Homo-oligomer: A and B are copies of this chain.
Amino acid sequence: MKIINFDTQKRGEKPANFSPFRERIHQIVFESDTPEGKLFDVVLLVMIFGSIVLLMLETVPSLQAKWGSTFHTLDWVVTIFFTIEYLVRLYCVYKPMKYATSFYGVIDIASILPAYLDFLFPGARSLMVVRSLRLMRLFRIFKMDIFLNQGNQLMLALRQSREKIFVFMFFVLLMVCIFGSIMYVVEHHANPDFSSIPTSIYWAIVTITTVGYGDISPVTGAGKFFASLIMIMGYAVIAVPTGIVTSSMVQLQRRNSAQHCQNCNKEGHDADAAYCKYCGTSLRK
């Protein structure tokens, strides 16, 4: 039932030539039961968080002008730290390939590679923001089991309804294509903002999701009339994904209480119930 597995848990079989030193390193880097492991995790989280803030501040022109060289130095400190960390992780796991291709392994390499790729493709470094995904370790490190559990329930509710969401998205895409084209026909003679069908579809998406930037808006009477129809329709449409997710969650809550009482055979007990609410028989056992 664990859907978001926040870190590789199963290490598999220990290789023959695996030294106690590597085992010790593994304990520090991957686990957080020992004081050293805990310390390492906290330092790592601080570094990740700091590096994200650093990445963002670098793009602010006024700060870049003032602290440019400091930012540059700190960037390399962080990158080298993460590179060493990645190599150490590879070194201390039983199966380096399995780690490297795991969810976390991919995020770890994706957090450092753009810094090196930047030599080849300037601008690539902004992609380092994927580092923020590393913050998901937070939940594991602080043993936030309840959050993990709730996150899993959320994911389960979304997964249960993924076909409904897919069908819904398909029809929304059809609708915005058709509405965008109609608005293009209606508006583009009078309104240079509706310059092409792709632009009109962008407008339809902005409208039907109720974002409504206003960078493009109808000016003709007919355009305003059609836009009103689309908005009113979007009203009913926005109710659909909410209905899908909510009914899925309500169902999940009921299923959590699908336990049968052994005495009276009734179900509908809460997850924390120890005794049948109908006949008082113990549910545990």
Task: Decide: A279 and B270 in contact? CB cutoff 8 A.
Answer: no
Chain B residues within 8 Å of A177, by CB: 52, 129, 132
Q: Is A280 close to B, CB under 8 A?
A: yes
Min CB–CB distance A143 → chain B (angstroms):
14
Task: Decide: A196 and B61 in contact? CB cutoff 8 A.
Answer: yes
Which of B123, B197, B205 is within 8 Å of A232, CB to CB?
A: B205
The CA of A60 and the CA of B259, in the complex, are separated in Å by 58
Q: Is A235 close to B, CB under 8 A?
A: yes
User: Binary interface profile of A, 229-254, with partner B (CB < 8 Å = 1, else 0)?
Assistant: 00110111011111111111111110
Which of B206, B241, B244, B276 is within 8 Å of A212, CB to CB?
A: B206
| Interface SS of A by simple majority | helix
Task: Decide: B238 and A244 in contact? CB cutoff 8 A.
Answer: no
Task: Decide: A275 and B274 in contact? CB cutoff 8 A.
Answer: no
Which of B133, B184, B185, B212 is within 8 Å of A211, CB to CB?
A: B212
Which of B136, B184, B214, B277 is within 8 Å of A273, CB to CB?
A: B277
Given A126-B185, A274-B277, 4 additional A-B pairs, CB 8 A: A126-B197, A169-B236, A205-B232, A209-B210
The CA of A199 and the CA of B63, in the complex, are separated in Å by 13
Task: Decide: A249 and B243 in contact? CB cutoff 8 A.
Answer: yes
Q: Is A140 close to B, CB under 8 A?
A: no
Stretch touching chain B among A27-35, A77-85, A159-167:
A159-167
Interface residues of A in 179-228 (CB under 8 A from B): 181-182, 184-185, 188, 195-199, 201-202, 205-207, 209-215, 217, 221, 224-225, 227-228
Question: Can you list 24 A-B contacts (CB < 8 A)?
Answer: A55-B181, A56-B196, A59-B198, A60-B195, A60-B197, A132-B177, A133-B178, A150-B163, A150-B164, A150-B167, A154-B168, A158-B236, A172-B232, A206-B228, A210-B210, A211-B231, A213-B213, A214-B215, A242-B242, A242-B246, A243-B249, A251-B253, A275-B275, A280-B281
User: Binary interface profile of A, 17-50, with partner B (CB < 8 Å = 1, else 0)?
Assistant: 0000000000000000000000000000000000
The CA of A195 and the CA of B185, in the complex, are separated in Å by 25
Known: A56-B196, A198-B221, A277-B274. A178 touches B130 (CB 8 A): yes
Chain B residues within 8 Å of A167, by CB: 147, 150-151, 154
Min CB–CB distance A107 → chain B (angstroms):
11
In the complex, which residue of chain B has the Cβ closest to the Cβ of A55? B197
